[in-house]
Structure 1
Amino acid sequence: MGIKVKYQAAFVTLAAANFEEIVEFYAQLLAIAPNPYRPGVYAEFAAPGLRLGIFKPKSSHESEFLPQGSGSLSLCFEVTNLEEAIAHLGQLGYPPPAAITTASHGREIYAYDPLGNRLIFHQSLEQVPKN
């Protein structure tokens, strides 16, 4: 059966250049405050059955998150081992087109499903082995 990736969680993220406006909208819509919340960087909402993250893309990546017909929605999978996830994607015939990047919250790689939807595989800093 091949490599078995151990998924920690799956959650929805939205890229928002107008970060504060979108965070405020979801805070009001869901009637909850974001937690964690890093002003101008990241906000997360946890509601029953939903974990929604909102982030402001780095200026060097903004074009990656521009709406392309289906919007700026990304499906994120938090994994315990990013290299295993990359190998699994390769086995499925959808290898990530670029290298692993490091963000303030951990390491990640972008991949795309058969329809072209963005998938972000993320390994938190707590899961990254120490050298």
Structure 2
Amino acid sequence: MVTAAFVTIASVNFDVVVDFYTQFLGSAPDRYVPTVYAEFSIAGLQLGIFCPKSTNRDEFGHPSQSGMSICLEVANLEDSIDKLSQIGYSPCGKITTASHGREIYAYDPDGNRLILHQAAKIT
């Protein structure tokens, strides 16, 4: 029986990636083991970041070649874009609009794609 599910990111740039998520999310990790593991709780999702052991690093390849994205729904897209820009990671491209809302792509320091999404207001 499954009791929990996590999204995890492997990073050899552990400290840089943990700092990025700490700044962008505005809070320190809920669990933290220096140079090994950090875990953030984000609206019911557990995001784990770990530094792979040197014997396993080749297994993780290059994140930018992955088909996975982390979609973060935000209350205000422009505020989130400003926050990313303030910490040096401006989103690329332009805001797109679809029936489900507005979104823009950004990338963390390791090249993992983030989708910042602001839901459409239902009237």
Is 1:64 matched up with 2:59? yes
Q: Do the aligned partners of 1:15 and 1:55 also contact (CA within 8 Å) in 2?
A: yes
Select 1:30's aligned residue among 25, 28, 37. Answer: 25
Structure 2 stretches lacking a partner, 5+ long? 70-123
- Structure 1, unmatched stretches of 5+, are 1-5, 74-131
Amino acid at match of 1:20: D
* Shift of residue 49, structure 1, vs aligned partner: 2.5
- The letter for the 1-side match of 2:46 is R
TM value normalised by structure 1:
0.48
Segments of 4+ moved more than 4 angstroms: none
* Contact 1:66/1:72 (8 A) holds in 2: no
SS in 2 for 1:22: helix
Deviations 1:13-62 (A, max 9, x none): 00000000000000011111112100100000012122100000000000
- Identity rate, percent: 51
TM-score, normalised to structure 2's length?
Answer: 0.51
Secondary structure of the corresponding residue to residue 9 of structure 1: coil
Task: Please provide the CA RMSD for this pair.
Answer: 1.9
